[in-house]
Structure formats: structure tokens, C-alpha cells
Structure 1
Amino acid sequence: MRIFGRVRQRPSTDWRLATNRAFSLIDDGRYEDAGALLTRAADLEPWLSESWFNLALLHKFRHDWEQARAAGLRAVALLERDAGAPDWWNVGIAATALQDWPLARRAWQAYGLRVPGNGHGSLAASGEPLGMNLGGAAVRLSPDGEAEVVWGRRLDPARIEVLNIPLPSSGRRWGEVVLHDGAPRGERTTAASGSPGGRPSVYPVFDEIELWAPSSVPTWVVLIEAATQADRDALERLAADAGYAAEDWSSSVRLLCRACSESRMPSEEGDGLALHDPHDHSVPGHPGPLGHTAPDGLWSPERECGLAAPGSLVRGLLDGWVADSPDTRDWRDLEEVC
């Protein structure tokens, strides 16, 4: 793990030994032991911004946001440059986790980002969320477990609203907002859509840190019979028109090894915000794509779909979808899974 070097003079040997040992312990998940060493390093070199940056980083790993904010503010107070330091990014993440919106605005602006409502107007003074609407991106849910990459909408530099319907193994739901780390780990590319030179769009993949805002909308899995792709699309439109979501997991989910998931991977459809942009489930090895299409590429009518809708609505939605074309549509085996 890299330790950023921006020092006025070379730190002491004891500081370097304690810090290097601490990051080895962090890599092993031994946060308490690492914290004792980084606290000792800060006592040895309190004038060094890295001492407090490293402590802020540790507290971020532990999700101790009060301590991360305090250490991060100590770090930025000792900086020698005005903008762009990663210390400010960590402060922004901690402030966002704590919903300290004035400090979050200050941190993102100090890093060099344009932030709405950062003047003397009512928005800056009210303490409301930033609402920067930074476009599409992907986020890796449960990055240390059964990782799954889903598409979402970036609300600000540290939060993404999930737009796919995650698989139940992730423990996440459609519409939830997750706090994410600042450094992308992987990229997804989508087909060019009228861009100059026909170049594809590239979207970063961020790692989830924790759930920021839960969703009350449950996830269901259902087996549908859809004679054509248009029949499947009609279900997704019907759910979207009702303010919820349906997603054909048979075609939208692919299995990737972790190395592929963390590299630049193509996403065959959409613009990073569309329903049919594939999301990824990372597993050991290199299994290739998962789907229920026939080997010759023909459409397979039986589809496994995820639905995000209240229990009071989900059966009526499916029955209404079938009623619109009973000869080409059917459903069975509805189950709430998350």
C-alpha cells in the first residue's frame, strides 16, 4: 500500500518503521494493531501531514467516520499545496458519510472540483446534500466478498445510486445509495453513441465502502415465459412506468473472474445508465458469460428476472403484463430474495 510522500524533511527511522509495519498489518486486516502503530507515528512526527493522512485512511477502512474526519482535518491543515491532494478526498468521503455537507463542499472544492451551491447562497448555508449529478458509473458491491459490479448514477464524488437490480447474494437492493471509494478499480466501456470518431464511452468502477441509504423496495426473482425480446422489454417498461424496475438477469448478468472485473471490460449495450448494460458477478477462475440464450444465439423464452417492487404491487404487475399478451407471456415461481 502506497504511502504518499510530501514531506518538508525526511521523517525519522522510527516513524518509517512504525508506518511500514502498520500498513502490513492493515493488509492483513489487523486494524487495531495498525492503529496503535500509526498513533505512535503521529506522536513521533505530528508536524507531518502523512501522519494524519495515514490515520484518516485507517479510520476510513474501519468506517470510523468521526475519527476519519478529525484526522483528515489535521492532515489538510499541514498541506503545502492548495488543491488536488488526496487528503481532501478522504475528508470529503468522511464528511459525506457523516452528512456534514458544508465540510463535504469545502473538501471537494479544495480538491479542485466544481461544487454547486458553494457560495453564500441558501444552498450552501442550508446543509443540504450536494446533488452534483456526475453521470453514470459502476460500483463494485461487496468488494471483499462475492463482488458484484452494478451500474448506477453518481450523486456526488462519494455516492452512487444503484440502478441495476443486484443479485440477492450482494445484500443490496435497487435504488439504494452506497458510499464508495475515490480511486476506480476497473473500467467499463459502452458502444459509441454518436460520439466523434465513434469512440466508446468509458466509465469508472468504484469499490463500495458501505451502505449509505437503504431501500425499502424488496427484490423478487421470477421465471417468465417471454416469446420474444419485445415481450421481455414490455415487462421492464411496465415496471419502470410504475416507478420500479424489472431486469432480465438471464441476459444482463455475466460471470467474470476478479482480474477481468478489475480491468477495462466492454459493456455491449446502453450508455452506462440503461437497463440492459450488463452487470458482473466476480468468481474465481475465468468462466465467461452467463446467460440463457441458446448456443446458436436464438432467443430462449424462459428467462430469470429480477423485480424491484413492493409486495402489494408485484403480482398485479406480472398479471397485467401477461394480460396484455396472454398467448406469448406467462410467469411462475415468484420469490422474495432480498
Structure 2
Amino acid sequence: MYIPPDHQQLFEEAERYWKLGDVYHAVKLHKRIIKLVPDWHPPYLALARIYHQRREWKPSFYYFKKTIAFLPDLREGWWCLGIAATALKKWRVARNVWTKFGLSNLPATPEGLRLTYDGTFEILWMTAVDPARAKILSIPHPASGFRFRDEVLYERKPIGHHIVARKRVPVYAEMGIFKRSHYRTYSCLIHDASAKQIQQLERLCYDARLGFEIWSNAARAMVIENPQAFPEYYGRSILPAEQSDAPHDHALIAIAAQNQVEVLHVLDAWEVIALGQYSDLRGY
């Protein structure tokens, strides 16, 4: 279709605003173009991308749906529509989209999830619920704003790989909270504990349905300087094995529970069973 040069110029100006980070004027101009040329798809797609990147799911859903009406074979449009539909709990639309991509059933094996906050990133374990939702299996650092068993939105396009036991596990980026879990995060120091004693504490937490993590071994680092890189993240598993019976001076342990009473019950039982000692119990 014929688009007058002045409308083309308006569109290019709107795109420049977006690249410069001026969301307000970019959105305003794109909406103005839609009023002038309602049958032209580029401003609909541009708005859909803006709202998707900003995680504003209602307008993202609206504009991707509009875009698909013009471009029914646009894979990006369908994919992002599925994410927005999931975020808005439009389950019928989401199921139709994931079926279209052949993603009705996903593997139940743990995969990597990257949280980015405060200038750092954290690599966690997650298990996929569907192509846009996952459940956190690790205990995130409190500064992240996430908790054990939170259900999060994520982008199912790998941004890197986590190297674990010489295997490459895909890592995905989170896109915000979907459903908050009832677990709270606690931490403590355990003293002069051998690997066996730590494993006993882990087993007690598992039996009590509590989360357990050794934060001393957490994989946290500065955000990569080159956002276009496709990095590989290495945990402590690439280091030489430590003596299993050698005690550690202290280890920072995280436990996820719904209340502190559950944590104290497990720690007190561990002191009796494993003859261990802990201190500095904190809740977040």
C-alpha cells in the first residue's frame, strides 16, 4: 500500500525516539500514525515490541494481535502473543499459540534461569510449567525480589548455557513474577561442618519439604559487559573435588520455609543428629 512520505517520516522519527529511550514520544507518534494510516502494520508492530520489552502485557497483547491480523505468518508476533496471553491468564489463546509452535509438552528436567538485579546476575535452577512460565527450584538471594517456588514468566530463547558436570544446560531470562510462593527465605552459618553433615541437613530440609541451598557456592557475578554475547556460566563443579570429610570453617546456608518455626525445628534436629552447630539465623 502507498504511504505518504510525511507518514514515513513520522514513523522514522518515532523509531528514533524509541532508540534514544524516549518511550513517551515514541508511543505518542506511533499512535498518531495509526490514526492517520490505520491499515499500515509497522506502527502496530513497533508498539507491540515496545510494550513487550517493558512487560506491559495488556497493550502488548492488543498490538501483537493487531499485527498478526496484518501478518498472520509472523512467528515473532505469535510467540510474543503467547507470552502476553500467559501473563494475562488468557489460557485458551496461550494453548493455541504453544500448540502452533509444537510446544504442548516440555521436558520436566531442571533448566537454568538468570535473574538480573542491582548490577549483578544470578543463575538458578527452574522447571518449566509451559513455554512462558517456570517454577524456581533454587533459593534466590533476597535482593533479587524472588523466592523459592515462585512462578515466573520467562523468555524461552536461551541466552547462554550453564556448564554442570560437563554438560551444557540452557539458561533463560526471567520476565517478571507470575505467582508469588508462600515460602520465605532464611539464612544461617553452620560451623566446622563436613560435607556429610551438610548433606544430612539437606536431607532433613528435603524431608520437611523445605528449600535448601549452600549460598557459599552461589553463582553470582557482574552482568556481562557485552549484551550480545552468548556466555557460558561455570559453577564450582569445574573445580577439583574437595575432601568429603574435611570440615569447612563455616558455610552460609539458605533455607526456604513458610515460617521460622519450621526452620528452627530442622536446625535443632540437625544439631542432635549430626552434632553440628549453627548461628546467625536471619529471615528476609
TM range (shorter): 0.7 to 0.9
Instruction: Choose the corresponding residue for 2:271, options 322, 327, 330.
Output: 322
In structure 2, the CA distance between the partners of 1:189 and 1:259, relative to structure 1 (3 Å rule), is farther
SS at 2:202's partner residue?
A: helix
| Consecutive unaligned residues in structure 2, runs of 5 or more | none
**Runs of 4 or more above 6 Å deviation:** none
Counterpart residue type for residue 270 of structure 2 = W
The yes-or-no answer on 1:230 pairing with 2:196 is yes
Cα RMSD over matched residues? 3.0
Which residue matches 2:162? 188
User: What is the 5 A alignment of 1:74-113?
Assistant: 74-81=66-73, 85-110=75-100, 112-113=101-102
**Contact preservation (8 Å) 2:111, 2:170:** yes
1:313 to 230, 254, 262: 262
1:29-67 CA deviation, whole Å, 9 max, x = no partner? 432222112223434554344332221222223333222
**1:51-88 CA distance string (max 9 Å, x none):** 3222122222333322211111111111253xx61100
1:163 deviates by: 1.0
- In the alignment, is residue 255 of structure 1 matched against residue 221 of structure 2? yes
TM-score by length of 1: 0.72
**Structure 2: how far apart are the matches of 1:233 and 1:20?**
60
Change (3 A) 1:17 1:306: farther
Query: 1:139 aligned to 2:86?
Result: no
Residue of 196, 200, 212 corresponding to 2:178: 212
Contact 1:142-1:148 at 8 Å conserved across structures: yes
Alpha-carbon distance in 1 for matches of 2:248, 2:215: 13
**Structure 2 Cα separation of the partners of residues 88 and 61 of structure 1:** 15
Distance 1:300 1:143, change over 3 A: same
Aligned residue for 2:127, secondary structure, equals strand
Q: Following the alignment from structure 2 to structure 1, what is the Cα–Cα distance between the partners of residues 215 and 205? A: 15
Deviations 1:278-334 (A, max 9, x none): 9xxxxxxxxxx9xxx9xxxx75230011110122201111111111021xx110010
- Give the match's secondary structure for 1:175: coil
Query: 2: distance between equivalents of 1:146 and 1:23?
Result: 30
Moved more, 37-46 or 301-310: 37-46
> Which has more strand, going by share of residues?
2
In the alignment, residue 233 of structure 1 is paired with which amino acid?
A: Q
CA distance in 1, matches of 2:222, 2:120: 11
Alignment-derived partner of residue 331 in structure 1 = 278
Number of aligned pairs?
A: 278
Q: Indicate how the Cα distance of structure 1 residues 12 and 216 shifts in structure 2: closer, same or farther if over 3 A, else same.
A: farther
1:31 to 20, 23, 32: 23
Q: Which moved more, 1:101-110 or 1:169-178?
A: 101-110
Q: Contact 2:114–2:171 at 8 Å: present in 1 too?
A: no
Query: Can you give the 5+ residue segments of structure 1 that lack an aligned partner in the other structure?
Result: 1-8, 117-131, 193-199, 270-276, 279-288
